[in-house]
Amino acid sequence: MGRHKVTVVGAGNVGATTAQRIAEAGLADVILIDIVEGLPQGKALDLAEAAPVVGHDARITGTNDYADTAGSDIVVVTSGLARQPGMSRDDLLARNAGIVRSVVEQAVAQSPGAILIIVTNPLDAMCHVALEASGFPRERVLGMAGVLDSARFRSFIAEELGVSVEDTHAFVLGGHGDTMVPLPRYSTVAGVPITELMSAERVAALCERTANGGAEVVALLKTGSAYYAPAASTFEMVDAILRDRKRVLPCAVLLKGEFRTSDLFVGVPAVLGARGLERVLEIDLRPEEQAAFDHSAAAVRELVGKLAEL
């Protein structure tokens, strides 16, 4: 049956690094596509020339033509403007909505059976654009945000407590942005909730740092935004789907009543396998947690409302 095929749209830092991880894991052949002529071809050539050293035989193709993406199993959308210092994710709304709509229409025309993973910000709103542009069922339109947010939370927990990141688990719900909802009582070190291991003040500080994780990197870099952790997080979703692993990963999915929310993309724990979203892992939230989740969902709904006005 040959190798899987993954298209990564956008050959910037996030896209190229995602392509690198997929290829170097030998997971799939990768098509890197961008509107800029030469950029995806150059990065693909550079990555291909690293293959003998790294030791993989995945093919990496750079192109400006969607015909080359035909028959992709997964299409990862990273194209759009990155955040600059002082910009909110929402400032990107109008500019990136047009880009994502165009990209998704062209990609799904070539790969009608693909699963879409959206990475472009503002993430939750862009998932709505992709759902509408593709006409796909909700199982095949996923947003990458929660894996990144929980990875940030996990790294901060490990640093705070002086433990391996591998023994940390973090639970993050809600929209990708300032209103995200880290859940400390479900965030653990070797199964022990972090609420048992540090003061309420430290827990609150780590939750806040997690919510502002992207802005913290943007402020340091000054030009561009995070890409190593976003690419690694996107790879984890691609891996779960192509290997049908049934991983439980926090992803933006279209809710249909789960967590008391309907017709909105919000981050929740999702079981990912060969069909994309296999199911949402729903848990009972305490009243204050549900209130925080509802507040986050309302912020997403407001953005989606602005989309309708564009």
Active-site residues, by number, are 176
Cβ–Cβ contacts within 10 Å for residue 222, how many? 8
Which pLDDT score, from 0 to 100, does residue 89 have? 67
SS3 142: strand
Neighbouring residues of 137: CB distance < 8 A, sequence distance ≥ 6: none
Q: Measured between alpha carbons, how far is residue 123 from residues 75, 96, 188, 302, 309 in Å?
A: 15, 10, 26, 13, 18
Which pLDDT score, from 0 to 100, does residue 27 have? 97
Which pLDDT score, from 0 to 100, does residue 235 have? 98
Distance, CA of 100 to CA of 171 (rounded, Å): 28
pLDDT along the chain (310 residues), means of 10: 91 98 98 98 98 97 98 97 76 91 98 98 96 98 97 98 98 92 96 98 97 94 94 98 98 98 97 98 95 96 90
Instruction: Give me the domains of the chain, ranges plus CATH numbers.
Output: 4-143 (3.40.50.720), 146-309 (3.90.110.10)
Strands 28-33 and 60-63: parallel
Distance, CA of 310 to CA of 302 (rounded, Å): 13
Is this prediction's pTM over 0.95?
A: yes
Which pLDDT score, from 0 to 100, does residue 63 have? 98
